[in-house]
Amino acid sequence: MKKALGFLLLIGFLASCTGKFQRKISISAMEKQLAVSTNPKDSLLEPLLIAYTSYIRKYPDDDLTPVYLYKVGSIYVRMQNWKEATKHFEFIIDRYKDSQVYSEAIILAAAAYETVRGNNEERAAALYKLYLEKFPKGKAKERAEFYFKPEDVKMRARIAEYQDELFKDNSNKGLNRQTAHMLERQYFNYIKRFPKSEFTPNYCFEGGKLASTLGETPDAVEFWLTIIDNYPDYRLYPETMLLLAVEYENKMPIYIQNPPKKEKRTAKLQLKVERFDLMKTDWLKEAEKMYNAFLAKYPNHVLSEQARASLKYLGKSPNEVVSGYKNELDKLRGLENKNVQ
């Protein structure tokens, strides 16, 4: 009887092991398929998430369970589903402190909370602090320490990261528009929070150029007017005046003729651009005012001749400009002929 009972227990044990083993093989196969996919879709991710979840529920004490929890959380990070991601990382932090993925779970959970912001800063700070206490020489030490740096330092670091990413892997297609919009928002946020920073006028200048490139003329004007109104000593103040004049002359009429179907202003500083009625303003006249203001303030600037030429041909079509140029050449030739005679 005892032998029979032992035999039955052995069969049950082997069956359970076989079931677990088969699940591992199945999960491993799906992981390999996902790894070679250049553009993983829901058709690959969803079955894998189901397989992970099923394994976790059935074998909560297995060594692989925290690893699968970590992988589930990582997939949700990739999906930008921060709520589900943190839920799985927190489960590891709470129940699997001795697992190999414990330290990574702390960092990824903290990073997810930091990304979402809102009411999550306290939890992000607590997790970064926990990481530094538990893993003072860990691989993510610098990342954890960085969280406690002053906010303006962190925001400048984010801006630098987006600047580096702007043309990355996109050299033949121009700038990455999604990254460009993120960078533009970072510029706006920094300018709004730190108006007295030495970096702010330069972010205004670069933000205006970026917005103009994206065809977001009101945002470009907003950035540059912030320099005109608030930073008269900025080293590129003259260039800013000319950029505004060109934007008024060339870009704003195009923007008004083809406004976006849904106005998507990136952000608002002090509503400087709203001093204008975009649809009713005479933008050529505004450009003329800005060119004249530039020449009055910087008559001997290296760009003053360019400003005078722009003012001379303001509002004229390309054919009129070419015709005027030919007339001037003819006059010069006439003078040369008289001198020769």
Residue that wins the pLDDT comparison between 167 and 321:
167
Give the percent of the chain with pLDDT over 70: 80
Q: Let me know: does 78 contact 44? Beta carbons within 8 Å.
A: no
Do residues 233 and 158 both lie within one domain?
Answer: yes
Could you tell me the pLDDT band of residue 265, with boundaries at 50, 70 and 90? low
Do residues 203 and 141 both lie within one domain?
Answer: no
How does the average pLDDT of the chain come out, rounded?
84
Do residues 172 and 298 both lie within one domain?
Answer: yes
> Is 11 domain-assigned?
no
Per-residue pLDDT reduced to its tens digit, 79-132: 889 999 999 999 999 999 999 999 999 999 999 998 886 778 899 999 999 999
> Is 4 domain-assigned?
no
Instruction: Point out the least confidently predicted range of 159-163, 174-178, 284-288, 320-324.
Output: 320-324
Per-residue pLDDT reduced to its tens digit, 161-183: 999 988 775 555 677 888 898 89
Number of domains in the chain: 2
Report the pLDDT value the prediction gives residue 340, as an integer from 0 to 100: 46
- Host domain of residue 73: 22-33+40-148
Do residues 167 and 54 both lie within one domain?
Answer: no
> Is 14 domain-assigned?
no
> Is 76 domain-assigned?
yes
Residue 177 sits in a domain of what CATH number?
1.25.40.10
Q: Let me know: does 174 contact 201? Beta carbons within 8 Å.
A: no
> Is 142 domain-assigned?
yes
Do residues 160 and 195 both lie within one domain?
Answer: yes
Report the pLDDT value the prediction gives residue 273, as an integer from 0 to 100: 80
> Is 264 domain-assigned?
yes
> Is 326 domain-assigned?
no
Do residues 280 and 205 both lie within one domain?
Answer: yes
> Is 107 domain-assigned?
yes
Report the pLDDT value the prediction gives residue 244, as an integer from 0 to 100: 96
Report the pLDDT value the prediction gives residue 58, as an integer from 0 to 100: 93
Report the pLDDT value the prediction gives residue 127, as an integer from 0 to 100: 96
Per-residue pLDDT reduced to its tens digit, 39-81: 656 667 888 899 999 999 999 999 999 999 999 999 999 888 9
> Is pLDDT at 135 greater than 90 in this prediction?
yes
Residue that wins the pLDDT comparison between 6 and 108:
108
> Is pLDDT at 257 greater than 50 in this prediction?
yes
Could you tell me the pLDDT band of residue 315, with boundaries at 50, 70 and 90? confident
Do residues 83 and 46 both lie within one domain?
Answer: yes
